[in-house]
Amino acid sequence: MARLAQGDLINLSGSRSRLAISYDASAARVITAAIARYGDRKARGDWHTAYVASPAGDPVDRGGRTSHERAFMQAMYYDARIYRHGDPYYLYNDEGDRYENPNPRRTHALRVKWGRVTVRGRECMVRVYPVGEASLYAEQRYG
């Protein structure tokens, strides 16, 4: 599988906010650190913690996140190492059946938990798993 440069992103023109795009480099650094943490046998399974600072008065949505927290989350999921779909999203076989076209550059699945608000910003805890890990677990467990 080809290695991706830090910050290599899937281009979905017109579908992302400018705020999310401004977080791309930071999100790529966090994902790179989480992948490195997973590769360290002693730290495997640990969460990588980052902080997302939102300006005072940034409105909170029904899910309890500010616009900056949502934008950071979107930037993490749009990283090519995480993003699930390729372009185009669906392909058609010779019989005309539609099937999903996964992103061949995807290497990891992302899990995110939001923590408490500190003076540095809101805690964003990130853990990654190699894409095939869940499938391997299911095959070993259920045959």
Grouping H, G, I as helix, E, B as strand and the rest as coil, residue 109 is strand
- Prediction pTM value: 0.71
State the virtual CA torsion across 29, 35, 38, 43 in degrees, nearest 10.
-10
Render pLDDT for 76-92 as a digit per residue (tens, 0 to 9).
988 888 876 554 455 56
Which pLDDT value is given to residue 85?
A: 58
Is the pLDDT at 4 greater than 50? The verdict is: no
Three-point CA angle 40, 41, 42, nearest 5°: 95
The two structure tokens encoding residue 122: 């809101």
Q: Judge whether 89 and 100 are in contact, CB under 8 Å.
A: yes
What are the C-alpha distances in Å from 57 to residues 53, 54, 60, 61, 68? 12, 8, 9, 12, 11
Grouping H, G, I as helix, E, B as strand and the rest as coil, residue 59 is coil
Render pLDDT for 5-26 as a digit per residue (tens, 0 to 9).
444 444 444 577 899 999 999 9
Q: Rounded to an integer, what distance in angstroms lies between the CA atom of residue 124 and that of residue 51?
A: 6
Which pLDDT value is given to residue 106?
A: 73
